[in-house]
């Protein structure tokens, strides 16, 4: 076999999926494997494809995983496999694919997920220590499938792969907006496809208590509006996840974010109440009283019940954003603090955490919580989930505590994929020793649900979370943004095979908004706008749990590809001095399309009151495009311009940044660059030519 041998560093340097090609075309692997050898030939896949499983790990979970793989392979290729291919995984004399697992894996932190995959002209062999590792290899195998004019094939390849971090998660918030079972199932399938292994399930917050508690039934009866998961449904999700090698870690947020708890059991509150489910978003005062024994008697019952229901070793207690107001306003709590030397609410919260930790320990569970639970002196087996940033994560690691990073992975904040991709829990220059570095367990993407519904949540999770999955699985040296985006486009289409709605929900929403079939003009507009970033959506307009999430802002991409490609082309033109004909043509064509699109958008709005809020964005896009075309022409011809021209164009572009319909025009900065190129030396020292500063990105819950 002629091979190209690549270590982890070489994969990054050679951009494995971009420049290393086999006879069957470019590889579209995500996450990128740890090691790969690429040959010159290919294996043709046809109707005679058969599989056998072997080894002590060849149990029901692996068999089901193989059958899911076969179903997807058949559906994608339209190959008609024989019944025995699906039904018999043991008795084929000359199988095309042999899958071997040495033992049944445990769905727990640190389990072996490594695998070896070899494809030759004569067949495929997948070997793993555990059946979970074999499942990860099956996902890689599906990503290797090539469809072209020659039919279906797999490139000749040898892969040795393992995850960089053992904790690779996605948090889904079911409290703010309830997420039905089908949402969870399809997202678990998406997680498995990109090798994520933890579903962090945020089940309790001010806006809803979403888990059935037979022992304390008022919790789900009064705290959920009837929207909660039964114990049977929770077991179904746990089993569904385990079948894909994914852990389920539940979160029951305390002592703050306590409104739903106290709606059911107000006698545990720090303030008199009355309490009802919170319908809006923010940080609220209701907090359980940590000074009364009734609180811990209650939690003994509840946590014992949840420890029995959930299999994972960890229970997440939240612990975040307790403002302490109700504690400090309660004379009895203040007296308790003074008597015990607790000089601030954080010290009292440590007391609460220690009591809860003791309950969890008695029930065989480990504690995980947000940054606020961390105080030196707590047992070292707790895990800190950092939303404040790497420095707080590193501080806890230096003191002997394990942690995971979520800061920088807040996908609800609508940052571009590149920001998440380059955000590393443990970059090469991390100021930690080897022992301290080993305490960085990985990270989690967080899908807070204030502004998502079951219809839109997939579009906020995917495909960006696939890039986060690569950051947590692949070697740290894999950082090529352009190639990441190329592969991400392919992965996004494959994720649709699993029933995810991130691609298909947008045209459905646009047809509903305009009451029409021709949504082309709206699609063009969406290529240049995105939802506002960080927490600006809540600042621009008040929302509640019942507000519509069906507007243009909800249909918009978090990372609009047309705008991104336009920006890259402008960047290349600026670097090359507007000499590249291909980029120049692409930039001009985009600007012309956006300039001319406004009239079509205005026509589409007829009879569509839900779209009128977006009309100013369309008008602004047309004006920005006219300025961009003018600047491009000036840059091409070398025509002299005045300072007045320069300042006028920049002022008009700045005005175009104004948000409408809680969206923002994301092509303004590239057009500013064009104006600066046109201005030449006049703009060389101008502060105006710097891109607009990003808004603060501190992440709250």
Helix (H, G, I), strand (E, B) or coil at 686: coil
259 pLDDT more than 70: yes
Q: Which two tokens stand for residue 613?
A: 């809020």
Cis omega (within 30 of 0) for bond into 31: yes
> Which pLDDT score, from 0 to 100, does residue 647 have?
92
Cα–Cα dist 328/350, whole Å: 16
Tens-place pLDDT, residues 313-364: 999 999 998 999 999 999 999 999 999 999 999 999 999 999 999 999 999 9
Question: Residue 173: left (phi > 0), alpha (psi -120 to 50), or beta?
Answer: beta
- Residue by residue, DSSP assigns 234-254 as HHHHHHHHHTTT-EEEEEEEE
Q: What is the mean pLDDT of residues 465-470?
A: 98
Cα–Cα dist 466/11, whole Å: 18
12 pLDDT more than 50: no
Tokens 């809006």 belong to 280
> Which pLDDT score, from 0 to 100, does residue 376 have?
75
> Which pLDDT score, from 0 to 100, does residue 681 have?
61
Average pLDDT in the chain: 93
Strand partners, 78: none
Cα 573 to chain centroid distance, Å, stands at 32
Tokens 């705290």 belong to 223
Sign of the dihedral defined by the CA atoms of residues 427, 430, 434, 438, in that order: negative
Strand partners, 118: 125, 158
CB 145 within 8 A of CB 77: yes
**pTM to 2 decimals?**
0.94
**Residues whose CB is less than 8 angstroms from the CB of residue 93 and which lie 6 or more positions away in sequence, other chains included:** none
Sign of the dihedral defined by the CA atoms of residues 178, 183, 188, 191, in that order: negative
**Residues whose CB is less than 8 angstroms from the CB of residue 447 and which lie 6 or more positions away in sequence, other chains included:** 170, 171, 172, 173, 411, 412, 457, 460, 461
**Residues whose CB is less than 8 angstroms from the CB of residue 8 and which lie 6 or more positions away in sequence, other chains included:** 34, 35, 474, 475, 477, 478
Query: Which phi and psi (to 5°) does residue 503 adopt?
Result: -90, -40
CB 595 within 8 A of CB 622: yes
Helices 615-637 and 643-655, axial angle in degrees (round to 10): 150
- Residue by residue, DSSP assigns 86-97 as HH-SS--SS-SE
What are the Cα distances from residue 602, in Å, to 415, 595, 596?
A: 29, 13, 11
Q: Which two tokens stand for residue 545?
A: 């749990």
Least confident of 16-20, 295-299, 357-361: 16-20
- Give the up-direction half-sphere exposure of residue 128: CA atoms within 13 A in the CB hemisphere: 28
Q: How confident is the model at residue 10 (pLDDT cuts 50, 70, 90)?
A: very low
Q: Which positions are annotated as active-site residues?
A: 321
Cα–Cα dist 536/551, whole Å: 16
Q: How confident is the model at residue 690 (pLDDT cuts 50, 70, 90)?
A: low
> Which pLDDT score, from 0 to 100, does residue 13 have?
34
What are the Cα distances from residue 586, in Å, to 483, 522, 620, 629?
A: 20, 20, 20, 12
Counting Cβ atoms within 10 Å, is residue 652 exposed (0-12), middle (13-18) or buried (19+)? middle
Look at the chain and count its residues: 701
407 closest CA partner among 416, 397, 396, 419: 419
96 closest CA partner among 63, 138, 52, 137: 52
What is the architecture, at CATH level 2, of domain 4-161? 2-Layer Sandwich (3.30)
- Label residues 55-70 b or e (16+ Cβ within 10 Å = b): bebbeebbbebbebbb
Q: What percent of the chain has pLDDT over 70?
A: 93
Tokens 């692409």 belong to 586
Q: Using DSSP, how many helices (H) and how many strands (E) does the chain show?
A: 28, 21
699 pLDDT more than 50: no
456 closest CA partner among 496, 503, 488, 525: 503
Q: Tell me what percent of the chain is helix, strand and coil, each rounded to the nearest 5.
A: 45, 20, 35
Tens-place pLDDT, residues 35-85: 999 999 999 999 999 999 999 999 999 999 999 999 999 999 999 999 999
Start-to-end Cα distance in the chain: 53
* Positions of CATH 3.20.20.80 in the chain: 167-465
What are the Cα distances from residue 149, in Å, to 92, 153, 409?
A: 29, 11, 39
Helix (H) or strand (E) holding 125: strand 123-130
Q: Which two tokens stand for residue 693?
A: 């500063």
Cα–Cα dist 673/664, whole Å: 18
> Which pLDDT score, from 0 to 100, does residue 200 have?
98
Q: How confident is the model at residue 686 (pLDDT cuts 50, 70, 90)?
A: low
CB 433 within 8 A of CB 468: no
466 pLDDT more than 80: yes
What is the architecture, at CATH level 2, of domain 167-465? Alpha-Beta Barrel (3.20)
Strand partners, 35: 160
What are the Cα distances from residue 174, in Å, to 251, 451, 531?
A: 10, 12, 22
Cis omega (within 30 of 0) for bond into 463: yes
Tens-place pLDDT, residues 623-648: 999 999 999 999 988 888 899 999 99
* Positions of CATH 3.30.379.10 in the chain: 4-161
Cα–Cα dist 552/179, whole Å: 21
């Amino acid at each position: 076999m002629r091979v190209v041998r690549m270590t982890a560093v070489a994969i990054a340097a050679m951009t494995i999926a971009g420049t290393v090609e086999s006879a069957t075309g470019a590889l579209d692997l995500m996450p990128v494997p740890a090691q790969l050898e690429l040959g010159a030939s290919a294996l043709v896949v046809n109707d005679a494809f058969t599989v056998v499983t072997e080894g002590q790990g060849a149990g029901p979970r692996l068999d089901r995983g193989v059958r899911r793989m076969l179903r997807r392979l058949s559906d994608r290729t339209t190959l008609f496999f024989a019944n025995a291919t699906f039904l018999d995984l043991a008795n084929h004399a000359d199988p095309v694919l042999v899958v071997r697992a040495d033992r049944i894996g445990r769905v727990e932190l640190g389990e072996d997920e490594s695998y070896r995959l070899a494809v030759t002209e004569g067949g495929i062999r997948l070997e793993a220590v555990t059946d979970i590792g074999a499942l990860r290899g099956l996902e890689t195998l599906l990503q290797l499938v090539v469809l072209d004019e020659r039919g279906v094939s797999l490139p000749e390849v040898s892969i040795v792969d393992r995850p960089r971090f053992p904790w690779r998660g996605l948090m889904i918030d079911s409290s703010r907006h309830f997420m039905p079972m089908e949402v969870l199932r399809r997202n678990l399938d998406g997680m498995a496809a990109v090798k994520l292994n933890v579903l962090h399930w945020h089940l309790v917050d001010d806006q809803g208590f979403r888990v059935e508690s037979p022992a304390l039934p008022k919790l789900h009866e009064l705290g959920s509006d009837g929207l909660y998961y039964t114990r049977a449904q929770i077991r179904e999700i746990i089993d569904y996840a385990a079948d894909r090698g994914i852990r389920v870690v539940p979160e029951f947020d305390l002592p703050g974010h306590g409104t739903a708890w106290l709606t059911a059991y107000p006698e545990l509150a720090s303030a008199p109440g009355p309490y009802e489910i919170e319908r809006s978003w923010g940080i609220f005062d209701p907090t359980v009283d940590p000074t009364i024994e009734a609180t811990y008697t209650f939690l003994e019952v509840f946590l014992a019940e949840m420890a029995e229901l959930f299999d994972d070793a960890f229970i997440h207690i939240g612990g975040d954003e307790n403002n302490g107001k109700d504690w400090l306003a309660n004379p009895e709590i203040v007296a308790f603090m003074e008597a015990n030397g607790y000089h601030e609410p954080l010290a009292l919260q440590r007391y609460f955490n220690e009591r809860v930790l003791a309950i969890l320990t008695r029930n065989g569970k480990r504690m995980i919580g947000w940054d606020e639970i961390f105080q030196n002196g707590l047992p070292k087996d707790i895990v800190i989930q950092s939303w404040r940033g790497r420095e707080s994560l590193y501080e806890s690691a230096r003191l002997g505590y394990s942690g995971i990073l979520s800061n920088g992975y807040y996908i609800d904040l609508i940052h571009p994929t590149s920001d998440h991709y380059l955000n590393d829990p443990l970059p090469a220059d991390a100021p930690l020793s080897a022992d301290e570095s080993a305490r960085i367990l990985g990270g989690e993407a967080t899908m807070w649900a204030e502004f998502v519904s079951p219809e839109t949540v997939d579009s906020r999770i995917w495909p960006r979370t696939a890039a986060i999955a690569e950051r947590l699985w692949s070697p740290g040296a894999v950082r090529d943004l352009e190639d990441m985006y190329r592969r991400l486009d392919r992965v996004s289409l494959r994720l649709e095979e699993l029933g995810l709605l991130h691609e298909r929900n947008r045209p459905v929403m646009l047809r509903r908004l305009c009451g029409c079939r021709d949504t082309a003009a709206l699609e063009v507009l969406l290529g240049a706008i995105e939802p506002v970033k960080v927490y600006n959506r809540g600042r621009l307009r008040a929302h509640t749990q019942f507000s519509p999430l069906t507007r243009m802002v909800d249909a918009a991409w978090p990372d609009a590809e047309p705008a991104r490609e336009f920006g890259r082309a402008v960047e290349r033109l600026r670097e090359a001095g507007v000499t590249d004909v291909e980029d120049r043509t692409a930039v001009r064509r985009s600007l012309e399309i956006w300039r001319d699109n406004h009239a079509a958008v205005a026509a589409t709005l007829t009879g569509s009151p839900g779209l009128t809020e977006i009309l100013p964005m369309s008008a602004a896009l047309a004006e920005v495009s006219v300025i961009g075309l003018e600047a491009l022409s000036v840059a091409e011809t070398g025509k002299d311009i005045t300072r007045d021209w320069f300042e006028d164009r920049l002022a008009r572009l700045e005005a175009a940044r104004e948000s409408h319909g809680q969206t923002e025009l994301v092509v303004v900065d590239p057009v500013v660059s064009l104006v600066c190129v046109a201005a030449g030396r006049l703009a060389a020292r101008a502060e105006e030519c710097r891109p607009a500063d990003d808004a603060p990105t501190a992440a709250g819950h």
